């Protein structure tokens, strides 16, 4: 027994093993523009959010009004250096094994680049590829400081906002691993979700387009929804269309089960890139007195198709405006028309901007009907 | 293929054995112990000198009323004999029989045979001329009848001593199944086995072991099923035992085990009759020892240590569940504290975030590092467990309350240990109670402590290396020629049906092949392969296999 | 008790070959394959596997011809004394060199994830001790341990690969054999890949212990087939998930694959460490079998029965060599040399021996 004790005391805390309480779990990392005047343009403000275990463990009896987490920040040029600076004021070792999010301010993302900022974490084995990344339209640090309305930690709250379970189709779902893959693939530019910090709550929706590792521009909420549909990651969503029988009145339809596919059509030197989308919808709400009618079935299908098509076309137009191939057209070409890709790959950005892209949408009223009549 | 019993035998031993074999025939002639003499007084004097100074040895002198009356002495040990048998069938028979003038009564040369043949009405009588068997017989409850002028003794079976009734075994209780266990009387135990298996092939071989205790040991097997190599090997190992005394079957267990220094038992110990019976029917061999209810079964595999007799009495889906849970509990009882330490110290990223932060929260301010905390709690549990076994039953509950309440609750409230630790330690302790065999539960308890240390030093890497080491060690063990880890490795698909899950009974058409039984197929099944049986359950068959009474 | 007791089933032979092959190599194999053939890297793996199957067939035929002996004993008879000895030495050295590389891979894996900062003497040292202890056990015990460990490792590996399918992009596997992705001039990577395949020597060393020596060919071919399938499937999955460009950039591709898997249903938060923990056993089987083979080969070469002495004697050498392989680049260089030796033996040694055995066999008749 004595031997074991001696052994333990001498070898305890061996290698880099630490007690749970000797580690500071970093749940989220934020990158911002430095606040100090005259900072180097390549410098950034690195903030980490650390939950306080003692406060998280309680059911709020003694916790009082204090937030159950703290946020530390420092200005640095390299992430590792920043971490070292943060470590100076902490008695516990910063631990990134539980980091759930990277939040990057859009200005920093544009000047320094997402790729460059995350280089340290790419090489840290403890950081998971499932970690979420978001580009912040505003100050990223502010989000870390917001006390969430329901969830206990802001990180859990934000993570849910960025996850598929939040149930809105206007947020783009991505993570660290996917970002890295899209970053390295030819012929596709990665997109990251957008977050907007507010006074009361953080808003999700919209997306940031990244080109060559740097922030290029925003996609609006509906453009993001279109992108989701085109990239086959659409969750169910809703559209409002005009009632075919009563102009001015509207019908809300719930759409789901999208399938999109790409086609490359070449016709006597004329090339057209075609995006074909199929989907199903059901009627959800009527503003006038009648319910679903067999009479306007065809008409309604066409109207829904038109509404969806308009949205997708807007997405495509926006992507071409930004000059970023977020649709993965180039990747499609590389895979299915490798010869064509050989010719265009060196000047793909110009090619993509000038590429005629057509959208075909075919929506079917093929879901359940629960109630006829008003 | 011949069975390979990997038991290292040094050259010296082989040579000695050879010499012994060569010497035996001549020795038999020389090795005559002291013999009886045709003088009653001298015989009695000899006996008194050997065992007579104890006051429980009774020398009953009387006269047999032959034409020329013969003085006789009946020697027995009080308490070991059945008084009625002596009174009615020996004394009464010898003093009041008819035909005292018959022809045989005058033939004094064969008096002993004649008395045995014509007078004694007791069921088991033998004639001995040497002292050693006579004395052993007296000491095991038989009566020796010595006659005047006769150098032979009549040994009558009058055994009958106080015994415990047949009770439910306390160490292996079961919800469903027979409520009988062995008791301390060998004969009664072998009789119980007989009652179960009415097969003429059931063999009960008697061996006496222990130079001083002369304990009866019975080797029980089914001749038409058990592999003869196995039987001879067990018997040879038993006969090789040179031991002063056999107090409990554990004495023999240590002598016949393949790996006496290993932590794992390679012989199964049970006090359930049904377990022994089931083992015999699978082609195993059982060793019953007098004076203990614990029988030894061999060969066994590691997994069988975790089988309970009850597994076969429930309907098969339930048995599957029970067995899975038991193996899970086995894993917990061995690894849970070690894995917890490894994760908490080296790889907290493996613990889900919410749990990790909760654990960290509850550990805030506790004075000891995780490892020491776990170690203290485990030691406390071990002490509690030992105390509750030693204490008389009524106090057992007190220990539970004192231990559980004081140590657990108060220590947590005082902030000495974290609540999560009590959960883990309690789960570990409860898991270790699910082991149906006491022997293997102890192994797990011993192994848990080094594993905890390894978890602290080497983290998950250390644990996986330790597991590999353990596996290497276990793969090297053979229990009477059967690989300890089979049927998993080497894989045996047929035997796998009775492993993690228990297949429906009618699909287990073969006895476990590991024991290499002579008669592989279980009787009564018409199918050739288990899948045929699976799709043809008994209810669908037209003809039953039952016999008319 | 005679030393040549035949207690290995043909299934165990298959698993021994698998256990020797599948280890550290597979973790980097997709990376190398992608470097040479781009998106169609898995085709290269498949082709290599088929090539090795052919050589496995020759080796197994050779082994079946001498069911009572190992290659150490019959190679001098076939090649002549001098060349036979030379062949045997090359054979043993190439087996021996597997050990330090194996130890180094383990050290790197452990340091990268499970125990960052753990010193070499602790990790490599304890591993080597267990390795040597295991290798001194009788061959049936080694076969049993290998059987259990490799099955567990493969099951968990398969589980990880299947769960990673949620990120699978069929686009990543196209186009087939695009000209601009093919770099056949990357000889080093090409040969480095064969490091994962060279498992055939097992069969020529354990054939005296096989219960049914005539089944050895079937068992070897089965093993080679499984290896080929596992490698191709795994490479295809990896490239499909990451795309070939990202695959090239990652060092331990398999671990990254496990890291990208979201398995919330599992109690543990991440799968990568679970994969590493189980992969330690796959690495261990490689090292264990290599150690055993070296011991057995030396024992046969010098006609001594004390294989344990060789194994314990060579352990410090293996340890010293493993410390020399200080980082990824150095050990992959070392594995390249091992692979070259292995190539020479597999595609030169075996066919030559087989041909000679055919010729000499005829003479004897």
Q: Is residue C299 part of a domain?
A: yes
DSSP string, B317-350: HHHHHHHHHHHHHHHHHHHHHHHHHHHHHT-GGG
Q: Is residue C265 part of a domain?
A: yes
CA distance B376 to chain A (A): 11
Q: What are phi and psi of A93, to 5 degrees?
A: -80, 130
Instruction: Name the packing angle between helices B438-475 and C272-301 (round to 10°).
Output: 60
Taking the C-alpha atoms of residue B516 and residue B514, their distance in angstroms, rounded to an integer, is 5
Is C171's CB within 8 Å of A332's CB?
yes
- Percent of chain B topping pLDDT 90: 27
User: Where do runs of H (alpha helix) occur along B346-437?
Assistant: 353-363, 370-390, 393-401, 411-413, 419-432
Does A97 touch chain B if contact means CB atoms closer than 8 Å? yes
Q: Which pLDDT does position C362 carry in this prediction?
A: 61
* Residue (of A156, A91, A99) closest to A124 by Cα position: A99
Q: DSSP secondary-structure letter at B66?
A: S
Cα B105–chain centre separation:
49
Taking the C-alpha atoms of residue B279 and residue B183, their distance in angstroms, rounded to an integer, is 19
Is B360's CB within 8 Å of A14's CB?
no
Interface of C with A in 148-177 (CB under 8 A): 167, 171-172, 174-175
CB contacts, 8 Å: A57 with chain B: 357-358, 360-362, 364
Tell me which chain B residue has its CA closest to the CA of residue C137. B476
pLDDT digits (tens, 9 = 90+) for A191-212: 999 999 887 778 888 899 999 8
CB contacts, 8 Å: C6 with chain B: 1
Q: Is residue B105 part of a domain?
A: yes
Q: DSSP secondary-structure letter at B405?
A: I
**Taking the CB of residue A66, how many other CB atoms lie within 10 A of it?**
10
Q: DSSP secondary-structure letter at C195?
A: T
Beta carbons of C260 and C238 less than 8 angstroms apart: no
Cα A249–chain centre separation:
35
Query: Average pLDDT in the B418-435 region?
Result: 88
Q: Is residue C280 part of a domain?
A: yes
CA distance A129 to chain C (A): 5
Taking the C-alpha atoms of residue A214 and residue A40, their distance in angstroms, rounded to an integer, is 18
From the list A12, A16, A23, the residue facing B369 with the nearest CB is A12
Burial B379-414 (b: 16+ CB within 10 A, else e): ebbeebbeebeeeeeeeeeebeeebeeebbeebbee
From the list A15, A128, A185, the residue facing C270 with the nearest CB is A128
Taking the C-alpha atoms of residue B495 and residue B499, their distance in angstroms, rounded to an integer, is 7
pLDDT digits (tens, 9 = 90+) for B185-221: 898 999 999 999 998 999 999 999 998 888 999 999 9
Dihedral of alpha carbons A331, A336, A338, A343, sign: negative
Under the banding of pLDDT at 50, 70 and 90, the label for residue A168 is: low
* Residue (of C179, C194, C172, C176) closest to C248 by Cα position: C172
Q: How many CB pairs under 8 A join B and C?
A: 94
State the CATH number of the domain containing residue C293.
1.20.1740.10
CB contacts, 8 Å: A12 with chain B: 369, 371, 456
Q: Is residue B35 part of a domain?
A: no
pLDDT digits (tens, 9 = 90+) for A293-329: 888 889 999 999 999 999 999 999 999 999 999 999 9
Under the banding of pLDDT at 50, 70 and 90, the label for residue A165 is: low
**Taking the CB of residue B106, how many other CB atoms lie within 10 A of it?**
13
User: Where do runs of H (alpha helix) occur along chain C?
Assistant: 10-21, 25-37, 41-65, 71-79, 81-109, 120-135, 139-163, 187-194, 201-206, 216-249, 253-259, 272-301, 307-324, 328-344, 350-364
HSE-CB at C314 with a 13 A cutoff on CA atoms is: 29
Instruction: Return the minimum-mean-pLDDT range out of A149-158, A338-347, B250-259.
Output: A149-158
How many domains does chain B divide into?
4
HSE-CB at C61 with a 13 A cutoff on CA atoms is: 15
Does B487 touch chain C if contact means CB atoms closer than 8 Å? no
Q: Is residue C3 part of a domain?
A: no
Q: Is residue C4 part of a domain?
A: no
pLDDT digits (tens, 9 = 90+) for A47-74: 999 988 877 655 444 444 567 888 999 9
Does A346 touch chain B if contact means CB atoms closer than 8 Å? no
Output the six-digit token pair for B451: 């594993």
> Interface of chain C against chain B, CB under 8 Å?
1, 5-7, 9, 11-12, 110, 114-115, 118, 122-123, 126-127, 130, 133-134, 137-138, 141, 143-145, 147-149, 211, 267-270, 273-274, 276-278, 280-281, 284
Tell me which chain A residue has its CA closest to the CA of residue C169. A181
Q: Which pLDDT does position A320 carry in this prediction?
A: 93
Residue B542 in this model has a pLDDT that exceeds 70: no
Taking the C-alpha atoms of residue C240 and residue C165, their distance in angstroms, rounded to an integer, is 9
Q: A209 or B90: which carries more pLDDT confidence? A: A209
Q: Which pLDDT does position B121 carry in this prediction?
A: 83
Residue A363 in this model has a pLDDT that exceeds 60: yes
Which of B348, B468, B476, B486 best probes binding to C when mutated, by most C CB atoms within 10 angstroms? B468
**Taking the CB of residue C266, how many other CB atoms lie within 10 A of it?**
14
**CA-based radius of gyration for chain B:** 30
β strands within A321-371, DSSP E: 357-364
Residue A264 in this model has a pLDDT that exceeds 60: yes
Q: Is residue C74 part of a domain?
A: yes
How many domains does chain C divide into?
1
pLDDT digits (tens, 9 = 90+) for A220-260: 999 999 999 999 887 788 899 998 888 888 899 988 888 99
Taking the C-alpha atoms of residue A373 and residue C123, their distance in angstroms, rounded to an integer, is 74
Biggest distance spanned by C-alpha atoms of chain A = 90
Is C273's CB within 8 Å of B469's CB?
no
Does A346 touch chain C if contact means CB atoms closer than 8 Å? no
Residue B2 in this model has a pLDDT that exceeds 50: no
- Percent of chain B topping pLDDT 70: 92
Q: Which pLDDT does position C1 carry in this prediction?
A: 32
Q: Which pLDDT does position B445 carry in this prediction?
A: 87
Angle at A86 between CA A82 and CA A89, to 5 degrees: 155
Which of A177, A264, A337 best probes binding to C when mutated, by most C CB atoms within 10 angstroms? A177
> Are B116 and B220 in a shared domain?
no
CA distance B347 to chain C (A): 7
Which residues form the domain of B273? 186-300
Taking the C-alpha atoms of residue C153 and residue C271, their distance in angstroms, rounded to an integer, is 13
Is C110's CB within 8 Å of B490's CB?
no
Under the banding of pLDDT at 50, 70 and 90, the label for residue B507 is: confident
Q: Is residue C2 part of a domain?
A: no
The top-scoring range by mean pLDDT among A139-148, A150-159, B323-332, C353-362 is B323-332
Query: Average pLDDT in the A96-111 region?
Result: 92
Query: Average pLDDT in the B286-291 region?
Result: 94
Query: Which segments of chain C have a pLDDT < 50?
Result: 1-4, 265, 365
Taking the C-alpha atoms of residue A361 and residue B528, their distance in angstroms, rounded to an integer, is 61
Taking the C-alpha atoms of residue C118 and residue B249, their distance in angstroms, rounded to an integer, is 48
Q: Is residue C98 part of a domain?
A: yes
Under the banding of pLDDT at 50, 70 and 90, the label for residue B451 is: very high
Residue recorded with tokens 């070690």: B338
Q: Is residue B1 part of a domain?
A: no
Under the banding of pLDDT at 50, 70 and 90, the label for residue B15 is: low
Residue recorded with tokens 């709020």: A60
Instruction: Return the minimum-mean-pLDDT range out of A30-34, B402-406, C61-65, C204-208.
Output: B402-406
Cα B7–chain centre separation:
21
Q: B309 or C58: which carries more pLDDT confidence? A: C58
Query: Average pLDDT in the A40-52 region?
Result: 90
CA distance A97 to chain B (A): 5
Beta carbons of A187 and A325 less than 8 angstroms apart: yes
Q: Which pLDDT does position B14 carry in this prediction?
A: 58
Output the six-digit token pair for C44: 């290269």
SS3 (DSSP) at B47: helix
CA distance A14 to chain C (A): 8
Taking the C-alpha atoms of residue C71 and residue C63, their distance in angstroms, rounded to an integer, is 8
pLDDT digits (tens, 9 = 90+) for C45-80: 999 999 999 999 999 999 888 888 889 988 898 888
Taking the C-alpha atoms of residue B172 and residue B174, their distance in angstroms, rounded to an integer, is 7
> What structural domains and CATH numbers belong to chain A?
19-56+67-219 (no CATH), 221-374 (3.30.300.210)
Under the banding of pLDDT at 50, 70 and 90, the label for residue B465 is: very high
Taking the C-alpha atoms of residue A159 and residue A133, their distance in angstroms, rounded to an integer, is 9
Q: Is residue B16 part of a domain?
A: no
Q: Which pLDDT does position C153 carry in this prediction?
A: 92
SS3 (DSSP) at B153: strand
Q: DSSP secondary-structure letter at B159?
A: B
> Are B338 and B296 in a shared domain?
no
Which residues form the domain of C176? 10-364
Output the six-digit token pair for C253: 């591709």
Q: What are phi and psi of A241, to 5 degrees?
A: -130, 160
Q: Name the helix (H) or strand (E) containing A307.
A: helix A297-322
């Amino acid at each position: 027994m004595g031997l074991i004790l001696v052994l333990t005391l001498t070898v305890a805390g061996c290698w880099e093993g630490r007690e749970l309480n000797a580690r500071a779990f970093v749940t989220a990392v934020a990158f911002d523009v430095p606040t100090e005047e005259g900072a180097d343009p390549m410098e950034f403000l690195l903030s980490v959010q650390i939950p306080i275990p003692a406060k998280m463990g309680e059911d709020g009896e003694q916790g009082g009004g204090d937030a159950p987490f703290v946020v530390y920040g420092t200005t640095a040029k390299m992430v590792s250096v920043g971490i070292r600076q943060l470590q100076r004021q902490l008695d516990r070792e910063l631990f990134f094994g539980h980091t759930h999010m990277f939040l990057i301010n859009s200005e920093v993302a544009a000047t320094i680049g997402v790729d460059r900022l995350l280089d340290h974490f790419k090489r840290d084995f403890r950081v998971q590829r499932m970690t979420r990344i978001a580009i912040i339209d505003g100050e990223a640090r502010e989000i870390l400081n917001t006390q969430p309305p329901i969830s206990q930690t802001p990180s859990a709250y934000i993570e849910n906002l960025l996850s598929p379970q939040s149930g809105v189709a206007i947020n783009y779902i991505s993570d660290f691993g996917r970002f890295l893959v899209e970053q390295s693939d030819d012929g596709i530019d990665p997109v990251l979700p957008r977050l907007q910090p507010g006074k009361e709550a953080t808003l999700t929706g919209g997306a940031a387009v990244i080109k060559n590792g740097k922030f290029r521009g925003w996609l609006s909420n509906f453009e993001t929804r279109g992108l989701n549909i085109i990239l086959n990651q659409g969750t169910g969503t809703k559209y409002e269309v005009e009632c075919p029988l009563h102009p001015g009145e509207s019908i809300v339809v719930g759409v789901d089960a999208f399938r999109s596919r790409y086609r490359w059509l070449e016709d006597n030197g004329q090339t057209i890139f075609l995006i074909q989308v199929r989907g199903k919808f059901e009627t959800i709400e009527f503003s006038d007195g009648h319910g679903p009618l067999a009479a306007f079935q065809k008409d309604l299908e066409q109207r829904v198709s038109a509404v969806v098509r308009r949205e997708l076309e807007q997405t495509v137009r926006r992507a071409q405006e930004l000059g970023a191939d977020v649709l993965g057209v180039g990747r499609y070409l590389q895979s299915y028309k490798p010869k064509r890709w050989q010719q265009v790959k060196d000047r793909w950005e110009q090619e993509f901007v000038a590429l005629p892209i057509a959208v075909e949408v075919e929506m079917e009223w093929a879901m359940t009907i629960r109630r006829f009549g008003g | 293929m011949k069975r390979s019993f990997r038991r290292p035998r040094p050259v010296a031993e082989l040579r000695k054995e050879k010499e012994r074999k060569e010497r035996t025939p001549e020795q038999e002639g020389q090795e005559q112990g002291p013999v009886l003499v045709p003088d009653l007084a001298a015989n009695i004097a000899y006996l008194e000198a050997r065992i007579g100074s104890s006051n429980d040895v009774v020398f009953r002198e009387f006269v047999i009323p032959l034409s020329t009356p013969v003085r006789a002495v009946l020697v027995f040990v009080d308490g070991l004999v059945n008084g009625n048998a002596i009174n009615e069938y020996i004394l009464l028979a010898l003093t009041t029989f008819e035909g005292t003038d018959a022809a045989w009564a005058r033939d004094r040369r064969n008096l002993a045979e004649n008395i045995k043949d014509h007078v004694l009405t007791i069921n088991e009588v033998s004639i001995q001329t040497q002292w050693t068997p006579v004395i052993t017989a007296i000491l095991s409850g038989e009566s020796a009848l010595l006659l005047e002028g006769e150098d032979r003794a009549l040994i009558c079976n009058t055994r009958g001593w106080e015994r415990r009734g047949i009770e439910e075994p306390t160490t292996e209780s079961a919800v469903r199944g027979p409520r009988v266990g062995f008791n301390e009387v060998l004969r009664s135990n072998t009789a119980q086995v007989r009652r179960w298996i009415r097969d003429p092939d059931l063999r009960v071989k008697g061996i006496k072991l222990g130079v001083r205790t002369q304990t009866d040991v019975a080797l029980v097997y089914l001749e038409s099923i058990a592999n003869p190599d196995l039987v001879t090997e067990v018997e040879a190992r038993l006969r090789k035992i040179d031991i002063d005394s056999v107090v409990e079957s554990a004495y023999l267990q240590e002598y016949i085990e393949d790996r006496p220094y290993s932590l794992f038992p390679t012989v199964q110990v049970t006090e359930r009759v049904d377990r022994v019976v089931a083992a015999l029917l699978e082609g195993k061999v059982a060793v019953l020892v007098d004076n203990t209810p614990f029988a030894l079964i061999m060969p066994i595999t590691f997994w069988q240590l975790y089988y309970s007799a009850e597994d076969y009495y429930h309907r098969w889906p339930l048995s599957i569940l029970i067995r899975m849970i038991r193996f899970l509990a086995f894993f917990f009882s061995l690894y849970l504290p070690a894995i917890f330490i490894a994760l908490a110290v080296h790889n907290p990223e493996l613990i889900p975030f919410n749990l990790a932060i909760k654990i960290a929260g509850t550990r805030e301010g506790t004075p000891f590092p995780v490892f020491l905390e776990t170690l203290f709690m485990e030691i406390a549990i071990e002490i509690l467990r030992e105390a509750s076994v030693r204490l008389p039953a009524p106090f057992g509950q007190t220990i539970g309350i004192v231990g559980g309440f004081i140590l657990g609750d108060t220590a947590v409230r005082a902030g000495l240990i974290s609540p999560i630790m009590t959960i883990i330690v309690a789960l570990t302790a409860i898991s270790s109670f699910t082991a149906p065999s006491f022997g293997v539960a102890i192994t797990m308890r011993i192994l848990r402590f080094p594993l905890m240390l390894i978890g602290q030093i080497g983290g998950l890497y250390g644990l996986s290396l330790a597991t590999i080491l353990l596996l290497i060690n276990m793969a090297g063990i053979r229990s009477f020629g059967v690989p300890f880890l089979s049927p998993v490795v080497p894989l045996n698909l047929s035997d796998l049906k009775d492993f993690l899950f228990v297949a429906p009974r009618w699909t287990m058409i073969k006895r476990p092949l590991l024991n290499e039984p002579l008669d592989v197929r279980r009787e009564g099944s018409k199918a050739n392969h288990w899948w045929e049986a699976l799709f043809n359950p008994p209810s669908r068959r037209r003809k039953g296999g039952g016999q008319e009474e | 008790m005679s030393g040549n007791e035949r207690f290995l089933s043909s299934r165990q032979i298959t698993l021994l070959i698998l256990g020797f092959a599948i280890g550290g190599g597979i973790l980097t194999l997709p990376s190398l394959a992608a470097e040479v053939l781009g998106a169609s890297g898995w085709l290269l793996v498949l082709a290599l596997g088929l090539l090795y199957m052919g050589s496995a067939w020759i080796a197994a035929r050779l082994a079946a011809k001498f069911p009572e002996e190992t290659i150490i004993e019959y190679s001098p008879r076939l090649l002549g004394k001098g060349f036979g000895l030379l062949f045997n030495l090359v054979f043993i050295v190439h087996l021996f060199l597997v050990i330090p590389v194996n130890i180094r891979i383990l050290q790197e894996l452990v340091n990268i994830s499970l125990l960052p900062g753990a010193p070499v003497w602790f990790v490599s040292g304890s591993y080597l001790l267990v390795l040597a202890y295991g290798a001194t056990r009788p061959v049936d015990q080694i076969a049993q341990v290998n059987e259990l460990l490799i099955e567990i490792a493969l099951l968990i590996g398969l589980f990880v690969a299947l769960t990673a399918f949620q990120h699978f992009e069929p686009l990543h596997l196209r186009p087939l054999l695009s000209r601009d992705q093919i770099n056949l001039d990357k000889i080093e990577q090409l040969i480095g890949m064969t490091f994962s395949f060279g498992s055939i020597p097992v069969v020529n060393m354990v054939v005296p212990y096989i219960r049914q020596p005539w089944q050895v060919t079937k068992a070897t071919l089965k093993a080679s087939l499984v290896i080929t399938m596992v490698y191709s499937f795994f490479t295809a999955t990896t490239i499909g998930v990451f795309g070939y460009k990202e695959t090239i950039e990652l060092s331990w591709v398999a671990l990254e694959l496990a890291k990208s898997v979201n398995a919330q249903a599992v109690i543990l938060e991440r799968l990568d460490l679970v994969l590493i923990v189980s992969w330690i056993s796959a690495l261990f089987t490689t090292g264990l079998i290599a150690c055993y083979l070296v011991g057995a080969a030396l024992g046969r070469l010098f006609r001594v029965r004390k294989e344990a002495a060789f194994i314990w004697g060579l352990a410090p050498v293996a340890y010293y060599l493993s410390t020399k392989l200080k980082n990824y680049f150095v050990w992959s260089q070392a594995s390249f040399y091992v692979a070259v030796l292995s190539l020479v033996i597999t595609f030169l040694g075996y066919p030559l021996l087989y041909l000679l055995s055919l010729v000499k066999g005829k003479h004897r008749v």
